[in-house]
């Protein structure tokens, strides 16, 4: 079967590899090339412990502050507030207790499947050398913040996440020295994994797919429409027809799905970071500063400080002051951090209101497979999503219940 994959980010190239291994003739299209967006600039974490969605019960009480703290963990630029109002309504509905619990359970199922799929991918493609199995520390300032986090840890326990809860700076320092003593409690997830570099990881998977028969075309697909024999893709210098099409264009997927009559609540989490050169800090595990919405991870021989969620769409100019604010906080939290020589970045992460991706056969268009909306979990869920996409193309039943990930759930 001739299959087109639109998007050469981590979801697209991993799905292309899975489809190639199933014997399909795969062509990958991307307007900029492999790992050119969020897949190349993220924190490099397989965050299988992150089963808690953004839309938690009671979050509506925090919403007014989003407009007044431009450097907060979750912010909305005032110029974008009116446009995002319908998405926020769906977000608040997703935070209702019953829907929240269902989202945690669905996320846990996809995480379990993705973790197992990752190990299969690492083994079959000999990728172990690109992994770091160093765990993760989620850090808290004081007893009150730690106690408030305990329900979330119980949610993780229910879905099978392994962790140890730590009390006291000395216990934390046994895993990661050099933290400010203001961090008195932590949760350590020992099974957490990182890639050595997300861009290198994505490029390696793309290269394997190409060596196994896939084709990569650098072209922006602007039109997608059904024909009597398949799906026609049109772009600058491109006009081809395929038996199946996988839409995996991340935050840019909405324009294509609208052409198919689908109006999905896809938004953009604009993520910011600063990458520091070798020698910036002796980082021994992935650090998550839970109350401040950012992480510190090793990328190559350097350090990357990044995170936060800015719901600002695709058109507003980057506000690199957010990256500077994250680095300033990191310097306070890691007193030995050397902040010179940093490189700032902003990328677009595709976000759905309930933090669950859309992985589905397009309603009314059985030749189109949708695979986007993973938020900040695209790398984490890429291997599992790829196997599911290949199952959907092959009309085979996926390994998990796909109802929570259907496009029609909204």
Residue 109: predicted pLDDT: 97
d(CA 290, CA 281): 20
Residue 380: both structure tokens together: 């984490």
pTM of the model: 0.96
Residue 72: predicted pLDDT: 80
d(CA 260, CA 134): 43
Tens-place pLDDT, residues 267-307: 999 999 999 999 999 999 999 998 898 999 999 999 999 99
Classified as helix, coil or strand, 184 is coil
Tell me the pLDDT band of 74, cut-offs 50, 70 and 90: confident
Tens-place pLDDT, residues 193-214: 999 999 999 999 999 999 999 9
Mean of pLDDT over the chain: 95
Please give the C-alpha separations between residue 144 and each of 78, 138, 149, 150, 292, in angstroms, as whole numbers: 31, 15, 9, 10, 15
d(CA 289, CA 306): 10
d(CA 281, CA 336): 7
Res. 67: pLDDT tops 70? no
Residue 73: predicted pLDDT: 81
Establish how many alpha carbons lie within 13 A of residue 263's alpha carbon, considering only the half-sphere containing its beta carbon: 2
Residue 98: predicted pLDDT: 95
Res. 181: pLDDT tops 70? yes
Residue 340: both structure tokens together: 């010179």
Tell which wins on pLDDT, 59 or 391. Answer: 391
Bridge partners of 132, per DSSP, are: 194
Res. 65: pLDDT tops 80? no
Mean pLDDT of the region 336-342: 97
Residue 84: predicted pLDDT: 93
Res. 398: pLDDT tops 80? yes
d(CA 281, CA 133): 18
- Tally: H helices and E strands in the chain: 11, 21
Tens-place pLDDT, residues 109-168: 999 999 999 999 999 999 999 999 999 999 999 999 999 999 999 999 998 999 999 999
Domains annotated on the chain, with CATH: 2-409 (3.50.50.60)
Cα angle vertex 47, ends 45, 51, to 5°?
A: 160
Residue 60: predicted pLDDT: 76
Q: Are 404 and 379 in contact (CB under 8 A)?
A: no
Listed range (79-93, 200-214, 348-362, 374-388) with the worst mean pLDDT: 79-93
Residue 399: both structure tokens together: 């390994």
Mean pLDDT of the region 361-370: 97
Please give the C-alpha separations between residue 304 and each of 44, 199, 239, in angstroms, as whole numbers: 9, 13, 40
Tens-place pLDDT, residues 88-125: 999 999 999 999 999 999 999 999 999 999 999 999 99
d(CA 305, CA 248): 27
Q: Are 326 and 272 in contact (CB under 8 A)?
A: yes
d(CA 294, CA 326): 7
């Amino acid at each position: 079967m001739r299959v087109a994959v639109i998007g050469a980010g981590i979801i697209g190239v991993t799905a292309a590899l899975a489809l190639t291994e199933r014997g399909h003739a795969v062509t990958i299209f991307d307007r900029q090339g492999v790992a050119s967006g969020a897949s190349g600039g993220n924190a490099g974490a397989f965050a299988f412990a992150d089963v808690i969605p953004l839309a938690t019960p009671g979050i509506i009480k925090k919403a007014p502050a989003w407009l007044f703290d431009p450097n907060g963990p979750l912010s909305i630029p005032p110029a974008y507030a009116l446009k995002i109002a319908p998405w926020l309504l769906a977000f608040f509905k997703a935070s209702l207790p019953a829907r929240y619990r269902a989202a945690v359970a669905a996320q846990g199922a996809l995480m379990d499947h993705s973790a197992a799929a990752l190990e299969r991918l690492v083994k079959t493609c000999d990728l172990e050398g690109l992994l770091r199995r160093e765990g993760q520390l989620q850090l808290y300032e004081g007893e009150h913040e730690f106690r408030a986090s305990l329900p979330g840890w119980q949610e993780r326990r229910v879905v099978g996440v392994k962790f140890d809860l730590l009390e006291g700076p000395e216990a934390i320092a046994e895993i990661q020295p050099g933290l400010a003593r203001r961090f008195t409690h932590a949760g350590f997830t020992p099974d957490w994994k990182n890639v050595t570099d997300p861009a290198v990881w994505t490029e390696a998977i793309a290269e394997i797919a190409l060596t196994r028969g896939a084709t990569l075309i650098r072209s922006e697909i602007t039109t997608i429409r059904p024909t009597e024999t398949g799906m026609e893709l049109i772009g600058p210098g491109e006009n081809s027809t395929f038996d199946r099409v996988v839409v995996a264009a991340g935050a840019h997927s909405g324009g294509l799905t609208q052409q198919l009559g689908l109006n999905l609540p896809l938004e953009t989490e604009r993520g910011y970071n600063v990458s520091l050169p070798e020698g910036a800090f002796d980082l021994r595990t992935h650090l998550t500063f839970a109350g401040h919405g950012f992480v510190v991870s090793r990328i190559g021989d350097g350090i990357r400080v990044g995170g936060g969620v800015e719901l600002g769409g695709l058109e507003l100019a980057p506000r690199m002051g957010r990256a500077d604010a994250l680095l300033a906080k990191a310097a306070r939290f890691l007193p030995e951090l050397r902040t010179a020589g940093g490189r700032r970045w902003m990328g677009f992460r595709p976000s759905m209101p309930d933090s669950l991706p859309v992985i589905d056969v397009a309603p009314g268009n059985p030749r189109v497979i949708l695979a986007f909306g993973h938020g900040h979990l695209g790398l984490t869920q890429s291997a599992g999503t790829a196997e599911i996409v290949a199952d959907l193309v092959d009309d085979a039943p996926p390994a998990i219940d796909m109802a929570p990930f259907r496009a029609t759930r909204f």
